[in-house]
Amino acid sequence: MGRHLRDADILQIVELLDGWKDGLTWEALSEASLRVVGMSPTRQTLSRIVRIQDAFALAKARIKSGGGEAGKAPHSIRLAADRIKRLENENARLKQENSALLQQFLVWQYNAHVRGMSQEELDRPLPLVDRAVTVPLEVRKQRAATKQKNRP
């Protein structure tokens, strides 16, 4: 079984979709992902991740409407036009992601209000975790067993 997609992998795949020009299928995206993230995730893996699924739908709609073409122009202008188009696509995707996050925030805000949570409770920082002190379970079991053996 292969490794799971990390956040950095998901971002790279979504950016790949921002610049996609034609012939977009889940299989083509899976193959293209091999070059970008070093693995070829299945269609099911890709479509299960909401960010990839949304970026895929946006790219598919953009290609269908003819928005994926940069047109005929000299090489340097074509490169610039491709970059501009990719950045516009990324901007549109980020706006949609931001909108979805704002909607999620409103749901959390409402739920916090209904449960009577105060602003101070919501703003309380996360507890610090000292990773140097955190000991894996196996090591703790070994230490406990050693302590019991050494007891008189």
Residue 112 has pLDDT above 80, yes or no: yes
Model pLDDT, residue 104: 93
The answer to whether residue 34 is domain-embedded is yes
Q: Is residue 86 part of a domain?
A: yes
Determine, yes or no, domain membership for 45.
yes
The verdict on residue 121 lying in a domain is yes
58 assigned to some structural domain? yes
- Length reported for the chain: 152
Contact between residue 3 and residue 45 where contact means Cβ atoms under 8 Å apart: no
- pTM for this structure? 0.55
Q: What angle do CA 126, 131, 137 make, to 5 degrees?
A: 110
141 in a domain, yes or no?
no
The total domain count for the chain is: 1
Quote the pLDDT of residue 147: 80
| 120: pLDDT strictly greater than 60 | yes
Residue 152 forms part of a structural domain: no
Q: pLDDT tens across 79-102, in order? A: 888 889 989 999 999 999 999 999
Residue 116, in any domain of the structure = yes
Domain that holds residue 117: 7-125
Measured CA to CA, the distance from residue 3 to residue 58 in angstroms comes to 27
